[in-house]
Amino acid sequence: MQNLLLGIEAVFTWQGLLAIFVGTALGIVVGALPGLGPSLGVALLIPATFSLSPSVGFNLLVSLYIAAEYGGSISAILIGTPGTAAATATVVDGYPMNRQGRGALALQTSLSASTFGGVVGAIALIVFSQPLVVFVLQFGPPEYFALGLFGLTLIASLSGDTILKGLAAGIIGLLLAVVGVDPISGTPRYTGSFFELYEGIPFLAVLIGVFALAEAFTLAERDDTRKEARISDSGEKLGLRGAASMLPTFLRGSAIGTVIGAIPGAGANIAGWLAYDQERRWSDKPETFGKGQIKGVAAPEAANSASVGGALMPLLTLGLPGSPTTAVLIGALIIHGLQPGPRLFAENPDVVYGLFVGMLVAFPMLFVLGTAAMPLWRKVLALPNSVLAVGIVMLSLVGTYALRNLMFDVWLALLFGIGGYFLKKLRFPMAPLVLAMVLGAIVESNYARSLIMSQGSHGIFFERPLSIALILVAAAALVWPLVSLVMRRWRAAGAA
């Protein structure tokens, strides 16, 4: 109860409420503009949190994450182009609804489903996080080392269909993680003559480079023509009765989104498609899906919003990202001097419980702002790529400089931006690079501590039940994607 009061005190101040308002408003726009998305939005906004308390700053970032997952449905419905990967399933029925003159109804449904699903995901996060933390508090250095190994195996699931490229990106992240002073011996490593690297490569420079600047360079070379956004309105409204009739759809989508979101590496995109598929299976008119079925909008939108609460669960309790955006959020916590994991609950309860309360405030605020902003989407979606690219570059460079007031960091961000641009052109995923950079330090330091505890014996990793279990799970997670790939190719060859 005392921690909950801390959370309420952190949120219900003018700074706390303003941060949630600004994060939600920006998130809707970032999600609605195709090519941006929550990862880029969060990376760009991190510098704005430097002058804020960790609790207020984290709520600002998470509010943007929440709203961006909804915002992707706006362009999906109006122009048939999902603003985020999570809104891909929404296009299937949302865009046909707009073409049939029911665009306003589709937007209302998307907003209602996102709000409902988000609240369900937030409640699940609040209910299940604490029991999981009690379990994780039993961990010592060997268990954290094994957990870090398991986290590195998530690179395969964050890589999509390009597993080898994902592994290569992960190796780059591990190489970046070892730059700086050795945490055990205190010896500088790979710093050359640059004293600025003694604390390691600035995480913000990497985040802004590979997410924001790389995306800005990509936007700048794209064709500036966009489809015209048109909100069709037949006068049909969702209303309380319509929302009540879709309550089972909302519940199914929310449950799927929460569970899938909590699986590290699964993400909102998978949650959306799975919810869509299950809704079609439950329907007594499955043939109407893909032709403007309103439940085909409600199910994936409830799922991708609920996945936010699910994805934050492994981040807060285990220090592992449940999605690419939460990988960026881990970086934000580290930049503020906070360590994601069970210690966060004990050492910074205002941040954790402030987040819980903030999420319960953010979703109703999302509903209000989303409703008020519906007439504006035609103008927002008409913004040219060139304007967006210039704006992103300016914000990125100013934000990078603000971290340590060093031009060295700006040059680093530009270097990573150029590298990230070419990696994106070659279809290398960026999330594995960030994940490996975060987990590399955790694995290395806990490996060294474990060997110090055992006086150099590696048997310590196989003497403790939790450590053994996590190593076995990590081995299974590493092998399964390769087995699955071989099986798919074998089936394809057999079918051919």
Write the pLDDT tens digit of every residue in 87-125: 878 888 888 888 788 778 888 888 999 999 999 999 998
Are 471 and 149 contacting, i.e. CB atoms less than 8 angstroms apart? Answer: yes
Torsional class of 80: left (φ above 0), alpha (ψ -120 to 50), beta (otherwise): left
Q: Could you list the residue range(s) of the whole structural domain that residue 354 is in?
A: 2-495
pLDDT digits (tens, 9 = 90+) for 419-467: 989 988 888 877 778 778 877 877 888 888 888 888 888 888 888 888 8
pLDDT digits (tens, 9 = 90+) for 54-64: 888 999 999 99
The size of the chain, in residues, is 496
Tell me the sheet residues that pair with 181.
Answer: 188
In this structure, the number of other CB atoms found within 10 A of the CB of residue 426 comes to 10
**Ranges 146-160, 197-211, 262-276, most confident:** 197-211
> What pLDDT score was predicted for residue 322?
64
Closest to 115 in 3D by CA, of 367, 445, 403: 367
For residues 115-138, give the mean pLDDT: 83
pLDDT digits (tens, 9 = 90+) for 244-258: 888 888 888 889 888
> What pLDDT score was predicted for residue 13?
87
At residue 180, the 3 state secondary structure works out as strand
Q: How far is Cα 306 from Cα 293, in angstroms, rounded to an integer?
A: 21
In this structure, the number of other CB atoms found within 10 A of the CB of residue 1 comes to 5
> What pLDDT score was predicted for residue 365?
92
Dihedral, 336, 340, 346, 350 alpha carbons, nearest 10: 50
**Rg of the chain taking only CA atoms, in angstroms:** 22
Confidence of residue 162 (pLDDT cuts 50, 70, 90): low
Q: How far is Cα 262 from Cα 282, in angstroms, rounded to an integer?
A: 24
Q: Which residues of 186-221 are buried (b: 16+ CB within 10 A; e: fewer)?
A: eeeeebeeeeebeebbbbbbbbbbbbbbbbbbbbbe
Domain count, the chain: 1
Confidence of residue 219 (pLDDT cuts 50, 70, 90): confident
Q: Which residues contact 197 (CB under 8 A, 6 or more apart)?
A: 179, 180, 190, 191
> What pLDDT score was predicted for residue 65?
92
Q: How far is Cα 206 from Cα 46, in angstroms, rounded to an integer?
A: 12
Confidence of residue 329 (pLDDT cuts 50, 70, 90): confident
Q: What is the mean pLDDT of the chain?
A: 81
What pTM does this model have? Answer: 0.77
Q: What is the DSSP letter of 212?
A: I
> What pLDDT score was predicted for residue 325?
82
Are 158 and 429 contacting, i.e. CB atoms less than 8 angstroms apart? Answer: yes
Q: Are strands 180-181 and 188-189 parallel, antiparallel or unpaired?
A: antiparallel
In this structure, the number of other CB atoms found within 10 A of the CB of residue 484 comes to 12
